[in-house]
Structure 1
Amino acid sequence: MMSPSALPRFFSVISERLLECGDEVRRVFHGRGRCYEGLEQITADWLGQGVLQIAVFKEDEPAFYDALESQAIAFTESEVWKKVGGKTIAIQHRDREGAETETLVGEMPQQINVIENGLSYKLDLGKRQNNGLFLDMRLGRKWVQEHAQGKRVLNLFAYTCGFSVAAVEGGAEKVVNLDMAKSSLSRGRENHQLNEHDLSKVSFLGHELFKSWGKVKKLGPYDLVIIDPPSFQKGSFVLTKDYAKILRRLPELVTEGGDVLACVNAPDVLPSFLTEQMAELAPEFIFESRLENPPEFEDIDTDSALKVLHFRHQAK
């Protein structure tokens, strides 16, 4: 259980970080990294436009919720809240069926356009657990934007095409997005349109990956492949079993000298899972570096946090 007595620390950290956000979407408290005793199951995200979204991941005692609500309301009287133009505070109950959202202060919009690294993304609020943008991948998207110039990019498990938006903004020649959820790809198309991108450079494939290798290969080869799968997707993907099927295919998909960004966001899967499997299944790909995670996602154990590893296809 979390501790009501730890909540002043929660709002103190939020106060410090809100002043650094400007209009950009940003995680402003990350208890899930276990760096704040008594606050391990709570996070807070600043969405810009005056909206602060708190998420609770595990059901707690009524006393904790009472203290959270009263201190959130008191926080709206602070100079920081007024300075950043705060309007809305809501709690998303990630532990409850449907991830219901409770608005404490102001009005919670159903959709909002947020800005990250100067790019716009449309998010859905209060409808489902994931709103359309994973904020811990902020530096990954920035890396892609900085390394996409003139490249053909394959974005696997594309979701709402955040990597694709970053790649096109960075000057990619072509991006192929693949995800079995066509609704997510539709949102990806909207995200590109928000940024006034040329959609002739972007393909959206609403297919299950392991049944679509022929189509994916036909549109290649690629200079950059991004692999950012779910840890588990019922009936289609189990990370510890199925990642290997992708790695085996990389030599026929990636140009010599090309790059692979391989991601894992399962706390119990170590970085060595990727480096060892790559060495075994696609030894032509040399490990270059692990990307840093955003500092606001501090974690007591870096191996449990998001892992984004860069590999390069070694020229023969």
Structure 2
Amino acid sequence: MHSLQQALRAAFHNREALLAELHAQGTDCYRLFHGSQEGMPGLTADRYGPLLLVQSFHQPLERGVLLALHEQLCSSLGESLMLVYNDRSQGNSRIDRDDPVYRADSAALDDQVGREWGVSYRVRARHSGQDPLLFLDLRNARGWVKANSAGRSVLNLFAYTCGVGLCAAAGGAREVCNLDFAESNLAVGRENGALNPELAPMQFIQSDYFPAIRQLAGLPIPQRRGRALPDYPHLAPKQFDLILLDPPAWSKSAFGTVDLMRDYQSLLKPALLATAENGVLVCCNNLAKVSLEVWREQVLRCATKAGRPVRDCQVLAPAADFPSTDGRTPLKVLMLQL
């Protein structure tokens, strides 16, 4: 317990300047403890507005340790946050229902609102995913999009709950389109839009990535011999000034396979072709096993082969609440000026 107290104290000290900056920017969603890099592998503590979400991935936290962690972080912040604890160390054992501390108060499990870059988001502490509907390590990318969207058309691919699209709208984009396969994700995106009524309305397209992006890029959709493809929305070819491509590590459908380890190129090529001349493609890779250097070389080579050579390539690192002792963070973001 003493070592955890020290680790939490050091982590908060290392974040004090960042937290002051975030609070001034209108952000109350951030990581307070990144255990894999701060002395307690398998343990994370995140603030989402009024919530403190603690998650353990290697072994459960004892009741007393959990309560002490909650008290220490709230005291450091000077805020009284509602505690939600998800234990993910034993498959789907995320909730121990024998103790009210592990169950969490009903108020903490209600839908809440968090803020980032002055924009409001729906947050939900316990659902089928690992995050409360907003991936914190992508905050810098969302901020970059907000700062660089004015007057642009923006396409948010693998949009999840449409945080990037919302930042584009907040940044003055003339058009924002969010594309995701899951209607449940887009439903939260619509909630996010409703939480920010001052922003221009966004568009939502529910579709598998491959047929949608290939149509936008003006490419044919391959037919599989002897197998009819599922229905999909029919889209006209169109290019966007700014595109964000943030795929999952792996998924498979009747239209193709998303595989960041073996075949990022099949995702990247149509996105390049759907990016307008002088536009920007922001591409992400969250697979820890892939090094930034190797992936960047793959991306640049693919762009050249696709006839869309990159004029400038910049790396955008996660903020300091996701520290890395060796500089090799799982999430890698490249901004490609075409």
What is the aligned partner in structure 1 of residue 221 from structure 2? Answer: none
Q: Give, in whole Å, the separation in 1 of the partners of 2:70 and 2:203.
A: 45
State the Cα distance separating 1:207 from its structure 2 match.
0.8
One-letter amino acid of the structure 2 residue matched with residue 11 of structure 1? L
Residues 1:292 and 2:317 aligned together: yes
Counterpart check, 1:221 vs 2:215:
no
Query: How many residue pairs align between the two structures?
Result: 298
Unmatched 5+ stretches in structure 1: none
In the aligned structure 2, how far is the partner of 1:73 from the partner of 1:256?
A: 50
Matches within 5 A, 1:180-259: 180-196=181-197, 197-199=199-201, 202-217=202-217, 218=236, 220-235=238-253, 236-259=257-280
Deviation at 1:94, TM superposition (A): 2.5
RMSD: 2.5
Map Cα deviations across residues 173-218 of structure 1 (whole Å, 9 max, x no partner): 111211111110111111112111222xx22111111122354342
- Partner in structure 2 of residue 89 of structure 1: 83
**Aligned sequence identity (%):** 28
Q: Secondary structure at the match of 1:276?
A: helix
Distance 1:173 1:74 in 2: 45
Deviation of 1:271 after TM superposition, in Å, equals 1.4
Aligned residue number for residue 27 of structure 1: 31
Go from structure 1 to structure 2 and tell me whether the alpha carbon gap of 1:10 and 1:101 turns closer, same or farther (over 3 Å shift): farther
Query: Distance in 1 between the 2:262 and 2:311 partners?
Result: 22
| Equivalent position amino acid for 2:49 in 1 | G
Structure-2 change in CA distance of 1:162 and 1:245 (3 Å): same
Do 1:100 and 1:127's aligned partners in 2 also have CA atoms closer than 8 Å?
no
Task: Report the TM-score, using the length of structure 2 for normalisation.
Answer: 0.80
Aligned to 1:303: 328
1:198 is aligned with what amino acid?
A
- The one-letter amino acid paired with 2:239 is P
Q: C-alpha distance in 2, partners of 1:95/1:287?
A: 42
| C-alpha contact 2:245 2:284 (8 A) present in aligned 1 | yes
SS of 1:282's partner is helix
Question: In 2, Cα distance between the equivalents of 1:9 and 1:101?
Answer: 27
The offset of 1:258, in angstroms, is 0.7
Query: What displacement does 1:10 show?
Result: 3.7
**CA–CA separation in structure 1 for the residues paired with 2:32 and 2:71:** 18
Residue ranges of structure 2 left out of the alignment (5+ in a row): 218-235
1:312 aligns with 2:314: no
Report the alpha carbon displacement of residue 274 of structure 1 after superposing the two structures with TM.
3.1
Structure 1 distance, partners of 2:70, 2:239, is 54
Alpha carbons of structure 1 residues 178 and 11: separation in structure 2 relative to 1, 3 Å:
same
Q: Does the 8 A contact of 1:122 with 1:187 survive in 2?
A: yes
Q: CA 1:219 to 1:296, structure 2 compared with 1: closer, same or farther past 3 Å?
A: same
- Is this contact kept in 1: 2:149–2:173, CA < 8 A? yes
Match of 2:69 in 1: 72
Give the Cα–Cα distance (whole angstroms) in 2 for the partners of residues 205 and 74 of structure 1. Answer: 43
* Residue 111 of structure 1: aligned partner: 111
Q: Where does residue 230 of structure 2 map in the other structure?
A: none
Q: Residues 99 and 126 of structure 1 are in contact (CA less than 8 Å); yes or no, is this contact kept in structure 2?
A: no
Give the superposition deviation at 1:168.
0.6
- Superposed CA deviations along residues 17-72 of structure 1, whole A, max 9, x for unmatched, are 5874656111111112x2x23x01111111222x2111111125xxx524523523
- Residue identity matched to 1:289: Q
Secondary structure of the corresponding residue to residue 313 of structure 2: strand
